[in-house]
Amino acid sequence: MVKSTLPFFAAATTLWMGASAANLDPVVIKGSKFFYKTNGTQFYIKGVAYQQGQGKNGATASSTTKYIDPLSDATLCARDIPKLAALGVNTIRTYSIDPTANHKACMDALNNAGIYVISDLGEPNLSIDRSSPQWNLELYQRYTQVIDSMAPYTNVIGFFAGNEVPNNLSYTASAAYVKAAVRDSKAYIASKKYTQGVGYAADDDQTVRAQVAAYMNCGDAGSAIDFWGYNIYEWCGNSNYELSGYDKRVKEFATYSVPTFFAEYGCNTGGGGIPSGAAARTFSEVDAIYGTNMTPVFSGGIVFQYFQEVNDFGLVSALNPSAVSTLADYTALSTQLNAAKPTAVQSGSYNPSNSALACPPVASNWAAASVLPPTPDANVCECMMASLSCTAKAGLDGASISSIFGTICAPNFGGGQACKNIVGNATSGIYGQYSMCNATQRLANAFDTYYNSLDAQNKATGCDFGGNATTTKPAAVASCGAVLSSASASASAAATAAGAAPDGGSAASTTKKSEGQPIMGASLGLGIYFTVGFSLLAGFSGLGMILL
């Protein structure tokens, strides 16, 4: 272990945190490669994942987040950025950014050090959940806020709309929600005249990686990813280009139409005579990643990770806000990265020839149709709420809402129609026009749909739901008629495109089987609380006769 307490800390602060140098040349995309915008030289990512775990390594999560924003503390950036630069890094990946924080000092320091940023748009408690996926207002607001906070900096290459979301055959339906997030993030970036791209960071599971790669790349350009990140840990210990399977990955992506790179790499399990643990990593794969076999297809990679934590992948140990100790694999990686000199082409002489792939069909091993969830629209959800006669009472928590959903959306409740406007089904490609609203709004719509299906006699007690609902007078909002009509028409058009049956059902099966595992396309976004789904059935007062 090489010790360093950064004796030049004050000088480094002046150099890195002072007046900004000229902005870095933006990195742009042409075909399947990255280029510097101004001089047209090809850009290769030499990256490191830069994000601390909660409350570890001399940093503390803020009072408003459950994660540590690595770009909001100027002191820590002054400590780390010289180390990143010496490592030979030109890019960092961050996983969770607090969009309300001030990032200027750190972003200016990274700019002065020649370092670019790729950031994930989600955060641990607000991202697309593979087991119960949603693309809704909360997520859309989170994603666009992160974009607004980071996109003004020219050293931001782009954003990941998801990280390892469909990571096995059970969760392929969630890919539709990720792709909807890609579509809407790209549209938002265009509307604000930002320039960054939006991509996806994929798991290396062999059962789904080919289908996920095709799905994210297929279809119209507005909904396809701008770049593909691959979290890959196949080169372990004393491996090589063929033994690691890198040769196969090159063949698989040789015709991919957007830039590809390793969004994470750096196996620490050892092998081939090299012991396990981060300290034993030699990073011999760096020579292959930036060598002539791979650079025609892959644009570099991002090592996992800068900070040493319990997972034992770290390059440095962060002792306190003013000191870090570099670990053995820091030196190994620095040697490899600084020696890597990939052959670059010029944008002007490069003529892209690769085309987008075909979308994988819905089948036993793929549950996401090409029709995507609707774009979240606050106006639609607010107008829907204004139109209700029966609504959810204020103050319901997440567990209560999810429990009620489990009852009111059950097939044996009121004919199974209460949730028809709020359920999304990625396999059939049919989404209710309010499936993108928040949980409270969706629950209110389910209450109202059920309530309005009752005859006059049963309506007297039909808006109660165990004391969780109440009647309300619809508000007369002049603009809402057109808004709701447009949302309904869009949902109908999408259902038609998806092949909906005339009775409102689906012409395609919504449940697929693969290796004995059910693949379900329908989602209410209930998360962990759905396990208590039917607990409130007996508590819905006044509904016994109706249920019969």
Residues with a known catalytic role: 164, 264
Q: How far apart are CA 388 and CA 200, in angstroms?
A: 38
Distances (CA, A) of 94 to 53, 177, 313, 324, 360: 12, 22, 16, 19, 30
- Report which secondary-structure segment, H or E, holds 382: helix 378-386
Burial (CB count <10 Å: 0-12, 13-18, 19+), residue 25? middle
Q: Measured between alpha carbons, how far is 273 from 71 in angstroms, rounded to an integer?
A: 38
| Strand, helix or coil for residue 470 | strand
Residue 367 Rama label (left phi>0; alpha psi -120 to 50; beta): alpha
Read off the DSSP letter of residue 53: P
Q: What is the DSSP letter of 139?
A: H
Distance CA 151, CA 456 (A): 55
Q: What is the DSSP string of 153-190?
A: STTEEEEEEEES-S-SGGGGGGHHHHHHHHHHHHHHHH
CA–CA gap between residue 124 and residue 96 (Å, rounded) = 8
Residue 166 to residue 230: CA distance in whole angstroms: 13
Cα 398–Cα 404–Cα 410 angle in degrees, nearest 5: 130
Q: What does the alpha-carbon distance between residue 310 and residue 389 come to, in Å, rounded to a whole number?
A: 53
Instruction: Give CA–CA dist 105/76, Å, rounded.
Output: 11
Burial class (CB within 10 angstroms; exposed 0-12, middle 13-18, buried 19+) of 547: exposed
Element (H, E) at 316: strand 316-320
Pairing type for strands 27-30 and 33-36 reads: antiparallel
Question: Which of 446, 440, 354, 437 lies closest to 397 in space, CA to CA?
Answer: 440
- Of the candidates 432, 465, 435, the residue with the CA atom closest to the CA atom of residue 447: 465
CA–CA separation, 548 and 534 (whole Å): 17
User: Residues with Cβ < 8 Å from 462, sequence gap 6 or more?
Assistant: 390, 450, 451, 454, 542, 543, 546
Burial environment of residue 133 by CB neighbours within 10 A (0 to 12, 13 to 18, 19 or more): buried
Beta strands in 337-420 (DSSP E): 390-392
Contacts of 145 (CB under 8 A, 6+ apart): 99, 100
